[in-house]
Amino acid sequence: MKHKGWHSRGYLPHLDAPGLIQAVTFRLADALPASVLKAWRMEDLEDEAMRRRVAAYLDSGRGSCCLGDPRAARVVADHLLTFKGERYRLHAWVVMPNHVHAVVETFDGWPLGNVVGYWKGSSARAINRVLGLEGRLWQPGYFDRYIRDEEHLHRAVLYVVENPVRAGLVQKPEDWVFSSAGWRGGNHAG
């Protein structure tokens, strides 16, 4: 599979290259309605203000939050870790009740879109089966931002592992089981 390099998905430019570290977020289909996002876009917010607003909305627990069910969260965690070290390196990850964050470095031959596509597609089928759901689980697409330097990487990892604390779900990052900070599932290391 070929990496895309610089490309567009209809909005801001994206970069996909082997060895590039990216912060990725994807969310449940009902976590952030398109109508809400459209209204915010009409406010012409700066990128950072929009990101903060989206993060706060997601952290407030909107939508079905089916990933709050430990069975569903475990499915996502297992899929994030399945090809770790083989197709990508995970620097940090967290499964929140209605969204997922990962800081990931893709390897040669494994473009970011394919990695995220695997995570979403395979986990959706498994979660629908485990929870007895039907239909679309994930919102189309994902948010990605390439990591520019070591300081940016540090901030991105901290953001990911502290997400459950900011959302008021736990007191310490390691208390959130479905994250690289708190994962103790089977043979996987976070």
Task: Read off the pLDDT of each residue in 112-122 and give the average, rounded to a whole number.
Answer: 96
Residue 155 included in any domain: yes
Count of beta carbons in the 10 Å neighbourhood of residue 80:
26
Cα angle 113, 116, 149 (rounded to 5 degrees) comes to: 80
Domain range for 23: 5-175
Asked if pLDDT for residue 167 goes beyond 90, the answer is: yes
pLDDT tens digits, 63-103: 999 999 999 999 999 999 999 999 999 999 999 999 999 99
Residue 153 included in any domain: yes
CA distance 25 to 107: 19
Residue 185 included in any domain: no
In which band, very low, low, confident or very high, does the pLDDT at 7 lie, cut at 50, 70 and 90?
A: low
pLDDT tens digits, 125-145: 999 999 999 999 999 989 999
Reported as type and span, the H/E element at residue 137 is none
pLDDT tens digits, 17-43: 778 999 999 999 999 988 888 888 888
Q: For residue 51, what are its two tokens?
A: 């990101």
Residue 65 included in any domain: yes
In the prediction, which pLDDT does 9 show?
56
Number of domains in the chain: 1
**CATH number of the domain encompassing residue 88:** 3.30.70.1290
Residue 160 included in any domain: yes
Residue 186 included in any domain: no
